[in-house]
Chains A and B, each alone.
Chain A
């Protein structure tokens, strides 16, 4: 009787050990994998300034596209500079001219928007989003205005960096 009981408890111990070993091994394998998958969240990117153009050449009230090579951020074995389109817009306000550097990435699904001269809007062909000249979303599915690149002026030369701020 007592031997049988002892055997059963021994059997229980072994089953417990099997489960524990399985769980432990699984944890040991899973932890680094999960860590490596999650690593992009914790990386802080650095974005240097890049030159865009001499703003004297930009007409007032006409969104003008420039392609600049920006750092794309993130951490990887290669962080190549990627071409991005910047729409430099001089807004003609009542008593001043305001300069903004719009990203041409739609805020809906990140397709490429372009300034449509017929519609007089920034138009996104993917799902028909429309933005006004200052980047405000005026029609279609976009949930927010076009993002703006952080920019600074050194004399008449416009510099941007690949940090996007909310528009309007």
Chain B
């Protein structure tokens, strides 16, 4: 009943600015396409009330990925994926096509900001224990998304085919040659031959613009569908006092829950946040403010700093110092710390592999009751050390590269 009222109010709202023929046309289309139902489904759902600014990070990630796809599409209008012409086409953009240079700058800075925002989104989810029952699979999908975005970042860095891109590609495609047994073969498959060449660039181009996005987009869809299915968990501030609740109070709260709550199966008390708000406009407003701020930041950085383009790739370089993108600095430092033949795979595969596996398995490893971070030292303390480790490694890598 309430739903029906809301629906007719929405129809009135959507058709208010138009009248007569336009309104009639809208109704005609609506009857056939179900626009109103769709908008209703997308906008009207309950979300946790407290801490909502922190929950805007997820939608900011989505907006930034859309930004990446859009700017990427239009970079293809000029970019040529060929070893002889890739650098020249980007050089043309940088010096003869100011707007395309901004688009390229936004693609780069969008990626940088995206990494920061994904990291914060992940930390937020981790600290609030949002991955717990029933949201385990959504955490795993999130980790996969993170890995896909890392892959997109590294393959994208190879495409300009300037010195930085060429040597990044060389190092990355050489890392796989340390795989046991099939290392050399995998390297040849990725490079399209024993050494870097035209086939290397086309392969990574295809991976960057088609293969990884084709995996990324459906995974995002799944992530959102699951989010809508379980409802947003929020964080511990939305569940203050659940431990002191009586059974009757809890049952009442469950019974009065608005869709999509209660999220089941769940630990007792954590199926419904204490206070709910409407997704539209309360949460959307915060999402919009945060996303706009980030897009503005990206635009400004693209105009002011832009994207660098080094000299064209030179395989015979003597004194070129390849530096990885900043989000790969900790991994680069691991390469220094694990010398010699039998240790290299430890630093390259085993440690990052263990890290990734543990990250994926977090929902199953964390057996703590409650959601407050200070009551879950079993996961918070090791995680704190992992984050500290990554930060220190990155700082040490900066120091090493600066003082060569």
CA of A111 to CA of B167, assembled, Å: 7
Task: Pick the residue among A74, A140, A142, A144 that contacts B192 (CB under 8 A).
Answer: A74
- Which of B171-207 touch A at CB < 8 Å? 171, 174-175, 185, 188-189, 191-199
CA of A143 to CA of B332, assembled, Å: 16
A-B contact count (CB 8 A): 109
Contact A40 B188 (CB under 8 A): yes
Minimum distance in angstroms from B183 CB to a CB of chain A = 12
Contact B320 A40 (CB under 8 A): no
Question: A105-147 vs B: 1/0 string, CB under 8 Å?
Answer: 0001111101000000000011110000000000011111000
CA of A125 to CA of B322, assembled, Å: 8
Residues of B within 8 A of A73 (CB): 193-195
Contact A72 B193 (CB under 8 A): yes
Residues of B within 8 A of A143 (CB): 339-341, 344
Contact B344 A72 (CB under 8 A): no
Minimum distance in angstroms from B210 CB to a CB of chain A = 13
Interface membership of A56, Cβ < 8 A: no
Question: B39-74 vs A: 1/0 string, CB under 8 Å?
Answer: 000000000000000000000000000000000000
A109-B199 contact in complex given A41-B189, A72-B193, A73-B193, C-beta closer than 8 Å:
no
Interface membership of B365, Cβ < 8 A: no
CA of A77 to CA of B196, assembled, Å: 14
Closest to A116 in B: B319
A40-B191 contact in complex given A85-B318, A112-B320, A128-B336, C-beta closer than 8 Å:
yes
Contact B192 A76 (CB under 8 A): yes
CA of A112 to CA of B341, assembled, Å: 19
Contact B171 A76 (CB under 8 A): no
Tell which of B19-27, B86-94, B149-157, B309-317 binds the partner.
Answer: B309-317
- Which of A52-85 touch B at CB < 8 Å? 65, 67, 72-80, 82-85
Interface membership of B321, Cβ < 8 A: yes
A111-B188 contact in complex given A40-B193, A65-B318, C-beta closer than 8 Å:
no
Task: Pick the residue among B193, B322, B400 that contacts A111 (CB under 8 A).
Answer: B322
Contact B84 A76 (CB under 8 A): no
CA of A91 to CA of B319, assembled, Å: 23
A144-B341 contact in complex given A74-B194, A74-B199, A126-B171, C-beta closer than 8 Å:
yes
Residues of B within 8 A of A72 (CB): 193, 195-197
CA of A62 to CA of B80, assembled, Å: 42
Interface membership of A28, Cβ < 8 A: no
Q: B interface, how many residues as a size bin?
A: 35 or more
Interface membership of A92, Cβ < 8 A: no
Contact A108 B344 (CB under 8 A): yes
A41-B340 contact in complex given A76-B199, A104-B318, C-beta closer than 8 Å:
no
CA of A143 to CA of B175, assembled, Å: 13
Residues of B within 8 A of A3 (CB): none
Contact B174 A40 (CB under 8 A): no
Residues of B within 8 A of A1 (CB): none
Task: Pick the residue among B167, B197, B340 that contacts A141 (CB under 8 A).
Answer: B340
Interface membership of A93, Cβ < 8 A: no
A78-B185 contact in complex given A126-B171, A141-B336, C-beta closer than 8 Å:
no
Interface membership of A29, Cβ < 8 A: no
Interface membership of B335, Cβ < 8 A: yes
Residues of A within 8 A of B189 (CB): 37-38, 40-41
CA of A55 to CA of B167, assembled, Å: 30
Residues of B within 8 A of A80 (CB): 83-84, 197-198
Minimum distance in angstroms from B27 CB to a CB of chain A = 41
A114-B199 contact in complex given A40-B188, A76-B193, A109-B171, C-beta closer than 8 Å:
no
Question: Which residues of A are at the interface with B, using a C-beta cutoff of 8 A?
Answer: 37-38, 40-41, 43, 45, 65, 67, 72-80, 82-85, 104, 108-112, 114, 125-128, 140-144
User: Top 6 nearest A-B pairs by Cβ distance?
Assistant: A74-B193, A143-B341, A141-B339, A83-B316, A125-B321, A85-B316
Can you pick out 24 interface pairs between chain A and chain B where the beta carbons lie within 8 Å of each other?
A40-B193, A40-B199, A43-B193, A67-B316, A72-B196, A74-B192, A76-B198, A78-B84, A78-B198, A80-B83, A80-B197, A82-B316, A83-B314, A108-B344, A109-B170, A112-B317, A112-B318, A114-B318, A126-B171, A140-B339, A141-B336, A141-B344, A142-B339, A143-B344
Question: Which residues of B are at the interface with A, using a C-beta cutoff of 8 A?
Answer: 83-84, 167, 170-171, 174-175, 185, 188-189, 191-199, 314-322, 332, 335-336, 338-341, 343-344, 400, 404
